[in-house]
Amino acid sequence: MADSATNNAYVTAEWVRRPLADLGGVAPADAVNDPQARKKLEDLFTELAGHHVRLSNLGLPSFDPHDLRRALGMETASPAAARQPIRMVRTGPVKRNALLEELGTALTGGDVDSVAFFNIKTGAVEHFMHNLGDQETARISQAQANEEMHKIAPVTTDVRYSIMSDFIGLVEDMNVAGRLRSAISGKGAFRRFREAVDEDDNLRRRWLSYRTKRHYLLALDWLQKLGLNPAQYSINPSDYDWHPHAPLETPAAAGDSGQGAAGTEVASTVVEAEKVMEDEGGMPSGAAAEEAVEPTPLEGQEPAPEEQSNAVGSPSQ
């Protein structure tokens, strides 16, 4: 035990003084006093916390990030100090709505073999399958030609990924947050996130509730984009803390203003999501899908189709 403690002390001393690529070639000891490098250091500690928990659960030795922080003279990180979510979502139960649920599911779906249309007159979501023969193809053509039918184009993987990332930012427990942050890194992020969240029943319920709210907000944004009033479908936006988005800046205006805080946040999410390979395992099915409607992030826009995937202690759909 004494030898192990001594070895850990040596390794820690070496780690804090050695330049790290993750910190832009800066040593942790120097990063503490550099605002930009310190932010990278905090992100690194969050990731290390996740690895520490996973290795400890397997009975394998690992370094506790808290010990590394103490070696650097850093105070304990404040919970959920990462970035602000693109869309603020109030915690707690959500008022369920069948239409918002259907729209949210259609907007976050990744099934390339199907297509959904929204009938603005009846308020119904109609689904069609590709490659089912001439009759189904004719029905799709009729829907496309019908002015009352609007095709529901699924959002991009970036948007679905941002829901998971935002949820992790709301998790108070740094170890849990680190484990989830590690799960959404690389190919298969949505599947790994789902598996990680499913390990804790309370965390899973909290995630499903959060995701549902985000999907509802995305659905309301989509209705706004079509110029439709949610009230005509018996939907009260205030029940979901939804507020209309301000008009988006034109590219020229955005360039003049330096893109703004919101633009920077979206860009950050896109860069983060670009690391994730498409993985259609993120959508829940069966009972899981019924427990919590697929929530979707309201990024104010509605990108192209792709994968679905959203504040406690930490991709599970």
pLDDT tens-digit readout, 228-249: 999 999 998 888 888 776 544 4
Q: Are residues 217 and 144 in the same domain?
A: no
Mean pLDDT, residues 72-93? 60
| Residue 98 placed within a domain | yes
| Residue 76 placed within a domain | no
Residue found under tokens 């949820």: 167
| Residue 255 placed within a domain | yes
Instruction: Give the residue with greater pLDDT, 315 vs 219.
Output: 219
Residue pLDDT, tens place only, 34-59 = 888 888 888 888 777 777 777 776 77
Q: Are residues 181 and 129 in the same domain?
A: no
- Domain count across the chain: 3
For residue 3, the model assigns a pLDDT of 57
- Please tell me which of 61-75, 217-231, 271-285 the model is most confident about, judged by mean pLDDT: 217-231
Residue of 299, 310, 297, 308 whose CA lies nearest to 208:
310
Mean pLDDT, residues 268-289? 38
For residue 263, the model assigns a pLDDT of 42
The CA-based dihedral angle spanning residues 43, 47, 49, 55, taken in that order and rounded to the nearest 10 degrees: -170
Instruction: Give the residue with greater pLDDT, 232 vs 305.
Output: 232
Q: Are residues 127 and 10 in the same domain?
A: no
Judged against a pLDDT cut of 80, whether residue 160 lies above it is answered with yes
Q: Which one-letter DSSP state was computed for residue 59?
A: T
pTM above the 0.85 mark? no
Chosen domain end from 20, 43, 71: 71
Confidence of residue 107 (pLDDT cuts 50, 70, 90): very high
Q: Are residues 136 and 248 in the same domain?
A: no
Q: What is the largest CA-CA distance in the chain?
A: 77
Mean pLDDT, residues 13-41? 85
| Residue 77 placed within a domain | no
Answer yes or no: are the C-beta atoms of 108 and 294 closer than 8 Å: yes
For residue 202, the model assigns a pLDDT of 93
| Residue 29 placed within a domain | yes
CA–CA distances in Å: residue 288 to residues 85, 207, 277, 307: 24, 11, 23, 17
Q: Are residues 297 and 172 in the same domain?
A: yes
Q: Are residues 294 and 201 in the same domain?
A: yes
Q: Which domain holds residue 265?
A: 82-110+154-317
Instruction: Give the residue with greater pLDDT, 233 vs 18.
Output: 233
CA distance 52 to 48: 6
Judged against a pLDDT cut of 70, whether residue 179 lies above it is answered with yes
**What average pLDDT does the structure give for the chain?**
73
Confidence of residue 5 (pLDDT cuts 50, 70, 90): low
For residue 86, the model assigns a pLDDT of 56
Residue of 5, 316, 290 whose CA lies nearest to 168:
316
Q: Which one-letter DSSP state was computed for residue 295?
A: -
Confidence of residue 110 (pLDDT cuts 50, 70, 90): low
| Residue 225 placed within a domain | yes
Helix H or strand E segment including 129: strand 124-129
Q: Is 241 left (phi over 0), alpha (psi -120 to 50) or beta?
A: left
| Residue 290 placed within a domain | yes
Q: Are residues 184 and 282 in the same domain?
A: yes
Q: Are residues 55 and 35 in the same domain?
A: yes
Q: Are residues 122 and 203 in the same domain?
A: no
Judged against a pLDDT cut of 70, whether residue 150 lies above it is answered with yes
For residue 245, the model assigns a pLDDT of 65
How many residues can be counted in the chain? 317
Chosen domain end from 71, 100, 127: 71
Instruction: Give the residue with greater pLDDT, 11 vs 198.
Output: 198
Q: Are residues 246 and 196 in the same domain?
A: yes
| Residue 164 placed within a domain | yes
Q: Are residues 104 and 86 in the same domain?
A: yes
Q: Are residues 171 and 305 in the same domain?
A: yes
